[in-house]
A and B are shown apart, each in its own frame.
Chain A
């Protein structure tokens, strides 16, 4: 059985915005999204146009290239994460880039990107990133140093097994501890 042998999600009701300054890549993404069943697809040539479209429409998911001019994908996400309207601020973003070193992926994540899609693009990977956003949405974190999806994919709340980590020593089964600090610096928060 193929590892992808499961029902396709119906993407026809989702509104997806593709921002890429390269016409071939934009067209390819559009065609791929159509193949996967998406019907409401909008395009932008760069970040400023993408942000304008986001103002004008109810976009569900943004797929954006990193390197664009004048506003690149990272700057677009930074601006989006400070949007005054909550639905727009929390819009899931897939960053597409050939800047695929771990350092760059971490940087994109720290700017508030939900998913990273590496170029060269494997068609199935685009769908898998969409599926991840749709089926496994993460909490949204706002703190002075970060605004974006929870950068921890693992949801500790669902774990009910024994606590074996050093930092868990002295805690009960549910993690309660008498010596827990009242507060921690924001950067140590789960964000």
Chain B
């Protein structure tokens, strides 16, 4: 915002207040650098909950995949994308970057609205299998085997993807 410019008609500018600053004064005996370490530990403490959720998400993907095979209901593809996108957001936060990468490729593939055909179903299958592989073998962090897996998934998608959609 530049106060030297006249305010165009129809535009209202409400100046900021310091209300939140007054409500949240500095704490003299606590340093951010120390609390930041505690926050990292907080993330670690959520690991078990994350792993339980991860197993549930993969199970849900399985269930929807089976339903897709039985019903060929294209609306279920959005369900798969929604779950994959959610899993993508959590993986790296909790030490599973491979989960994030696998779900990223799957979510992006489905965001491009591919037709519901055998090829698309195969792509979903191979991604679910990959997720299993990561979890069953506890491929945490940037595990080299997992990275090779992700690379192969990307190659596969380059062959079958309808077009690059970007994120979302």
Contact = CB atoms under 8 A, between A and B. Distances in A.
A79 interface: no
Interface in A16-67: 21-25, 27-28, 31-32, 35-37, 60-61, 67
Classify chain A: how many residues form its interface, as a range. Answer: 35 or more
A127 B16 contact: no
A90 B14 contact: yes
A144 B14 contact: no
B138 interface: no
Interface in B12-60: 12-18, 20-21, 23-28, 30-33, 35-36, 38-40, 42-43, 45-46, 49-50, 53
Contacts of B12: 141-143
B23 A157 contact: no
Given A22-B86, A101-B167, A189 B8 contact: yes
Interface string A127-167: 10000011101111111100000101001110000000000
A184 B93 CA distance: 45
Contacts of B23: 13-14, 60
Contact of B31 (A5, A24, A32, A35): A5
Main secondary structure of the interface of A (DSSP, over half): loop
B82 A67 contact: yes
B89 A134 contact: no
A23 to B, nearest CB: 7
Contacts of B11: 141-143, 186, 189, 191
Contacts of B154: none
A5 B7 CA distance: 40
B146 interface: no
A58 to B, nearest CB: 11
A143 B10 contact: yes
Contact of A97 (B1, B39, B89, B92): B89
Interface string B120-138: 0000000000000000000
A84 interface: no
B51 to A, nearest CB: 9
Given A5-B33, A6-B31, A7-B31, A190 B85 contact: no
A183 B9 contact: yes
A8 B27 contact: yes
21 contacts: A5-B31, A7-B27, A21-B86, A24-B49, A25-B89, A27-B49, A31-B46, A60-B23, A86-B14, A90-B14, A98-B89, A101-B167, A104-B168, A134-B21, A137-B21, A138-B1, A138-B16, A139-B16, A180-B6, A189-B8, A190-B5
Interface of A: 2, 4-11, 13-14, 21-25, 27-28, 31-32, 35-37, 60-61, 67, 69, 86, 90, 92, 97-101, 103-104, 119-121, 123-124, 126-127, 133-135, 137-144, 150, 152, 155-157, 171, 174-176, 180, 182-186, 188-191
Interface of B: 1-18, 20-21, 23-28, 30-33, 35-36, 38-40, 42-43, 45-46, 49-50, 53, 82, 85-86, 88-93, 97, 100, 104, 166-168
